[in-house]
Amino acid sequence: MPSRFLPGATALIVIDMQRDFCAPGGYAAQAGLDTARLAQPIAHIQALLKAARAARLLVIHTREGHRADLSDCPPEKLQRSIRAGAAIGSDGPMGRLLIRGEHGHDFIDELRPAPGEVVIDKPGYGAFHQTDLAQVLANRGITHLIVCGVTTEVCVHSTLREAVDRGLACTTVGDACAASDPALQAPALAMINVEGGLFGQVLDTEAVVTALTTMAPKESTA
C-alpha cells in the first residue's frame, strides 16, 4: 500500500469526465478528437469511485466550462478554440460548447457524482485556477490526491502540477487517464516520475483499488 494513502487525508479527484470531452458531438469531437478513446478510462474510474466511496474518501469531480457570456474566458483561450475548429460558446448537438448549464458541459451518465460529492466548476485547465478547491482540501485536512480523468497532458497535468506546488502528495492513476493524442499518453505519465517522482507517483487502477480496499471500514459482526 502506498504509504501516503492516509485515511481521512486522501481525496480522489476525477477530472473533466464531461460529455463535451467524452461523448460524440461535444467540444472534443468538434475539435477532431476521438471521444471513444477519451472515454476508455470510464470502467477504471468507476472502479476507483467504488473503492473511494467504500473507504469514505472525499470525492471531487471537476468540469471545465465558462459563463454564458464568456466573461471568464480569456480572449486567447477563445482564439485557440477557434483555431481548433471548436469555438467555445458556439452551437453544437449538445448545446453551446463548454458553456455551464448546457447538456454537453455536464458529466457523462456513467460517472455522475453521488449525493454530497464535491463538484468544482473551473474556467481553466487546472482545477485550482479561480476555484475554491484549495479551500475545500484545506478544510478537510487533505494532504494526498489521487488524480484521474482527461486529458492526461492538459487538465490532469495542470491540476497535478498545481497540487504539487501546494505541497500535496499526488498519485496519478495512469490507466484511468486518457490523452487527446495517444502518442502523448506515455510521455505525459513519464514526466511525473522524473527526478525520483517530481510530480508524485503513477500507479494503475488495480494497485490503487487494492490500497483503498484496506482503508475501507470493516462492517461490525456484532
Beta strands in 46-194 (DSSP E): 58-64, 91-92, 95-96, 118-122, 144-150, 169-178
47-101 pLDDT, tens per residue?
A: 999 999 999 999 999 999 999 999 999 999 999 999 999 999 999 999 999 999 9
Contact status, residue 135 vs residue 142, Cβ threshold 8 Å? no
Given this model, what pLDDT does residue 91 score?
A: 98
Q: Is residue 101 part of a domain?
A: yes
Given this model, what pLDDT does residue 221 score?
A: 47
Helix-helix angle 42-54:205-213, to 10 degrees: 10
88-119 pLDDT, tens per residue?
A: 999 999 999 999 999 999 999 999 999 999 99
Q: Is residue 218 part of a domain?
A: no
Which structural domain, as residue segments, surrounds residue 110? 10-213
137-191 pLDDT, tens per residue?
A: 999 999 999 999 999 999 999 999 999 999 999 999 999 999 999 999 999 999 9
HSE (CB half, 13 Å, CA atoms) of 10? 24
Active site residues per annotation = 16, 122, 155
Given this model, what pLDDT does residue 162 score?
A: 98
Nearest CA to 107 out of 61, 153, 48, 138 is that of 61
Instruction: Using a pLDDT cut of 70, give the percent of the chain over it.
Output: 96
| pTM, to two decimals | 0.95
Report phi then psi at 131, rounded to 5. -135, 175
Q: How many domains is the chain built from?
A: 1
Name the average pLDDT for the chain: 95
What mean pLDDT do residues 193-209 have?
Answer: 96
Q: Is residue 146 part of a domain?
A: yes
Given this model, what pLDDT does residue 7 score?
A: 87
Given this model, what pLDDT does residue 3 score?
A: 45
Q: Is residue 222 part of a domain?
A: no
User: What does DSSP say about strands 95-96 and 91-92: parallel, antiparallel, or unpaired?
Assistant: antiparallel
6-38 pLDDT, tens per residue?
A: 889 999 999 999 999 999 999 999 999 999 999
CATH code of residue 177 = 3.40.50.850
Q: Is residue 1 part of a domain?
A: no
Beta-carbon contacts of 133 under 8 Å, excluding residues fewer than 6 positions away, are 60, 62, 120, 122, 127
N-terminal to C-terminal alpha carbon distance within the chain:
28
